[in-house]
Structure formats: C-alpha cells, structure tokens
Amino acid sequence: MDQLPVEVIGNILSHLSAARDVIIASATCRKWRQACCKHLHTLSFSSKDWPIYRDMTTTRLEILTTQTIFQTSGLQALSVLMEGVGEFSASTVIAWLMYTRESLRQLFYNVKTSPNVNILEICGRHKLEILDLTHNSIAGVEPNYQRFPCLKYLSLTYVSISALDLHLLVSACPKIEALELVNPEIAMSDAQVTVELSSSTLKSVYVEAISLEKLILEADGIECLHLKDCALEVFELIGKGTLKHFKIDDVSVIHLDIGEIIENLEIVDISNFTIIWPKFYQMISRSSNLKKLRLWDVMFDDEDEVVDLETIATCFPHLSHLSLSYDVRDGVLHYGLQGSSCLENVVVLELGWTVINELFSHWVEGLLKRCPDLKKLVIHGVVSETKTDEECQMLANFTTSMVELMRIHTHVDTHFK
C-alpha cells in the first residue's frame, strides 16, 4: 500500500463515498490523509447511511459536515441527504455550495433550511452535470442568469415550483438529456392551466405523481417516456419520431397523444390503465419494429372491445417479449385466440391473472401453441389466503394442467411468481 500513488488512494476513498467511511479510512496514515484532502472526488452525507445523524443536534451536524467538506479540494460529487433530521442554517449550507461549486459536477441535495436556499443562483453558470433536488423550493427562474450550460440530468422530487419556472428551468439547460419529476408541487395561475416543457436534447423523461389539466412535452430527440401515477386531462408529446420506450403505469388521462411518427417504438408497457382500444391501437399499430409489448391490468373503455392475438401477430412481426394479464368479462376473453398467425419471434412470454378460473390454463396452452420458438414462460398469479373448496379444486386443476404443459414443452424455461 505504501507504493500506491496518492491520486490512486484518492480514487479509492472516492468509491467509499460515505463521509463517515472516508474519515475513518483517511485516519490510516499521513498519505491517506493527504489523499482525502487533495484527491477526494466524491463525498456523501446521508441520514440513511448512518442513523446516528438523526440523534445529533443540527448544530453539531453542521459543524461536522462543514469541517469535512472544507478539508477537501476539487470535490466533483457532493450528496447531502438529511431527511428527518431537522432544519439547517441557510448560511451554513450556502457556505458548502460556494466552497465546492467551481469543481462540482454532481449535486444530490435534500436539506431543509431556514430560509430556503436558492440552489440555482449558487450553482448556475458552473460545471454541474447532475442536479437532484428533493424537498426544495424554486422561484423566480432567470434563464439568462441562472443557466446550466453543462447540466445533463435534472431530478425534482417534492419540489415547489411554478409552471412558468419549470418551463424556464428546462430551457436554461441546453444539454439536458434526462428529466425526472416526482410529485412536484406546481403552482398554476388562473391564466395558465398548461405546463409546457421544451428541449431539443431531452432523451429520457420520467413523470410520477403529478396532477395537471394539460401537459405538453416538446422534445425532438426523446427516446424514453415513462408516466406513473398521474392524473392528466391532456398529455401531448411533440417530437420527430425518435421515441423507443413508452411506459404508462396507473395513469388517468382523457386525451393521450404521443405523435404520429412512432415507427421507432421498440417497447410499449401499459399497466393499470383504461384505454380506448381503437384509438390506442391506431396510435401504436405503425410501430412495426416493436420488440416488447406489455398490457397488464388494462381496462377497456368499451366492454365489447377485444384485443386478439391475430392483431398483435400481424402488426408486430418483430415482437420478442409479450406480457398479457388474463381478463374475462361476461364470458369474453379480452386477449382472444382468434386467427391462426403465429408469434414466431416471441421468446419470452409473461402471463398473469388476478382472479383465476378454469379457462386460464386453456388460454396459456393456446398461447404456447402460437409461440413456436418460445424459450421462457413466466406465470404471475394471485392466490387468496382464504380459499373455498371450489377455489382449491380450481387451483389443483390448474397445477395439473401446468405440469402437463411443461412435459409437452420441455424446451421452455417456466417460472411461477
């Protein structure tokens, strides 16, 4: 270890990341102490890493954190996640950021302060590439002044911000590639009921737990879009057909538009969602390059609507991963076995039920016959703890049927979850 260059030791300490571990390791000898002071790149303070933080007074925590940060030079990644600790002095937190901002590339920040600290004003116009803010307030964004020329990743979780400031903030990041919005508190004026986000460089957008009348996303280069647990009247994506991965999970939306040019779609993952199948089918039917399709716990707006395998097989010839949840209403299976076309490229098949009945095993058997090159089968199911005699018999019949199918399709790797 004595032969290691001090720069290498600095890299080793940076991989430890947690401030407590770095301090303990740096006490090994003078060389390691020097590495900590001059060559440490990453430092993390988290109440989850060390629960003792929560037993300390905020004053004591401020002193320890300040001493540790001020002993470093050239810090590139700083994480201060003090959830459930109490309020810090704003002047102390500002001192941390002012000391590190010239070299800082990544900032993960969850600190309650009194008063609120304006992160944008302190860290704007510098080299920050990743900014992850939690439980913070953003107001009065000035894109010409509070500009992030190098920022590629922006995450806002439980952040209070107006619709206008959110628009200006995204616009102030000319190189942004990934945006995450989790349960933001978005202030809307009477004259503004629409949130508009525009970026030509965005590739990935994740939105969770947001409730809005209208959300418009203009992103010419977007490749991945994930909406989760949202309530929207209108969602509109304006792009140039670059979208590859589209996922919706537990979303309520009246009007959904992801653009007319979607030939590059490779993954469509829809769960806990009510759809009008003709409109949705029309929206994705041109995605001939689709490789993965997941329709899980999907409700149909019209009870007479049925999605049959013939439609899926015909429209998506390159499909290799298919996931369907079993749904029977009024004796009609929503993913029927009509037609004769095979899913020749499907190698992974995931099937599931919420309420099992005697038809499920027949449905599985029919799907297996339509997938001649299948390599993996995953069965997802829910079995109630309290079972009637009828349910026990049905489960026994299902088990017997599955064993028989596994004997026939010995080349298929079968899993039950």
- Give tens-digit pLDDT for 126-140: 999 999 999 999 988
Asked if residue 260 has pLDDT above 90, the reply is no
- Report pLDDT for 105: 97
- Alpha-carbon distance of 182 to 194, in angstroms, equals 18
Mean pLDDT to the nearest integer, 34-39: 87
Tokens representing 61? 């925590």
- Report pLDDT for 310: 81
What length does the chain have?
417
pTM: 0.89
- Report pLDDT for 88: 92
Peptide bond into 149 cis (omega under 30): no
- What's the pLDDT band for 99 if we cut at 50, 70, 90? very high
Secondary structure (H, E, C), 28-81: CCHHHHHHHHHCCCEEEEECCCCHHHHHCCHHHHHHHHHHHHHCCCCCCEEEEE
Which residue in 272, 249, 268 sits closest to 258, CA to CA? 268
